[in-house]
Structure 1
Amino acid sequence: MHRARWRPIRAEAPLLSTCLLSACLLAASLLSGPVSAQPAGEGLSPTLANIKATHTVRIGYRESSPPFSFLDHSNRPIGYSLELCDAIVEEIGTEVDDANLKVDYVKVTSDDRIPAVVDKKIDLECGSTTANAERGKQVAFSPLMFVAGTKLMVPKASGVTQVADLKGKTVVVTKGTTNEQAMHNVDAKQKLGLNIVTAPDHEQSYQMLVDGKADAFATDDILLYGLIARHKSQDKFRVTGDYLSYDPYGIMYRKGEPQMKDVVERAFRRLASNRDIVPLYNKWFVARLPTGEKLNVALSPQLEEAFKALDDSPGGSN
């Protein structure tokens, strides 16, 4: 029966073929219409499209990187980096036309934070991460948000004032950090014979020093000050030595997405042009933290210039 019904159509010459073609084109256009018109991520980069589809931004946070990213007394993630990410989330909401995006906090460590971004487990890494060329091969970074460098935390009674004083001794570093590489570099260069050991995160590294399992803890100076303040151990430990590395910090996200890059940079420019970024810095580095400690680390001239450059950049207020 089906064959009999279709025979006359095939028997009709070009007119019916043209009609069939027109009908197919019309059907195709009708089917494709809703896809291009629907708000399911059409025209958005992969990260933004997924955020729009799930109504959720996944933020990677650190448990013990005060004042950038750490836990308050209620075990909620807080910090300078997280507030910067709040501004980015707001800008993402504008970009994907969703003012009520949810935030899903995902704990990361120094060792797994880059894979978490690359493997799409998180959308933004809001911690204390150095932006360098090597990491830039895998991930993208926001504009500069802080400048730090590797220094040493040692017991206050220790005679150590510089890295050379640690010859033949044990230094703990946090696994997966630029500080780990910096210590291996200085060890090789100065032939110190250091015993360089690693811990999973800054809190565990600090604890190794407390327990006497290491003679020094090497990481970014601001993180050392933050840990000392958090543990109220100013009478036990001090930060010493010359800078052993240069570590510019940034918010990390997936590379290869120009639209996401634009969103992140717009968020930073908005903070700078609204004059919000310096008060935000002071809230976390100068004023008393929500957890009670106080760092008193004034804005450096270098970072002040970086913030000013954001305001003067295209899209800033000038």
Structure 2
Amino acid sequence: MEKYISQIQTPKVSIAPMVDKTHRHFRAFSRILTKNTLLYTEMISAQSIINTDTDKHLFFNKKDEGSVALQIAACNPEDAFKAVKIAENYDYDEINLNCGCPSDRVSGNLMGAALMADKKLVFEILIAMKEATKKPITIKHRIGINGEDILNPKNSKIILEGYEDLLEFLEAISKARPDRYTIHARSAILKGLSPKENREIPPLDYTLVHKLKKDFPYLNIEINGGFKTISDIKEQLTYVDGVMIGRASYENCYLLSKFDELSTGIASNITRKSILEAYLPYVEKELLIGTSSYALLNPIQSLFLGEKGSKLFKQLLSPPNLNARNGIEIINRILKELPEESLNLY
């Protein structure tokens, strides 16, 4: 394994790139709850960056969103190089290569988890990305893959499972010296399962990731897969450098307010009322440029999960109460109509 000491520090927690979830409004809202967590863009294909409206895909506001990593999907070194060069015009903190998405649309275009079938190609893509920028280059991948070999169609099946297969993959790509390995502790089934099923059916195997960090302590390793509580995160941090959270970040968004304590040791006392009040200026600014209230208020959907008044909260965030232009009015109604004990809870 290439011994390379990364110059970047892995945050205790990051929020995974998720299509239709980790857009810039989600990130602006998340930054109110957590200052130290690394946030990600949605996965963006290199071809989209090269051939379509760049600002549409890459624009973000550093002041509102803080530290953000751009995740790209690429199927060849040339496209990866061009996309990263374009991204140089934007102030992202890191650029991440997706080698973990199992969807047919992505793997069918020789991207995502399917890339793990060709470790030489992954190495070449990482090298191209490194040549295009001085920013940290990281990779997100699975512990293995199982399915049709679309990269090498003469072989009908690919099965990369177990510690030795994972080591073989990492042995090849480590020569490109990625700054961090974010490992989703599930194999990806490339045919027969939906992306949702691929997040639930293949069993989690944290021990493979833990063993990797133990055997190669100089590698910068972050683990991903199924973590929903602060105690989950704390346990994992005894084995690895960082933990990536996925669905829990929008299913229970107030959880984010607990993340910074893991790195600072200082407990958060931010209330749900304070969070909404802090989000109001952003909503007002975005409404002035035509952003829909539906998009702006979507990130707050789980803010009162399990708390008194949560039913009323959901009603206020749904039609006919909510429309495309009345986001400010709805937030003010939430602040006025929900129980004080829930608004001031932390």
Of structures 1 and 2, the one with the larger relative CO (CA 8 A, separation 6+) is: 1
- Give 1 or 2 for the bigger CA radius of gyration: 1
Q: Same fold (TM over 0.5)?
A: no
TM range, smaller chain? under 0.3
Question: What is the TM-score normalised by the length of structure 1?
Answer: 0.26
Question: What is the TM-score normalised by the length of structure 2?
Answer: 0.24
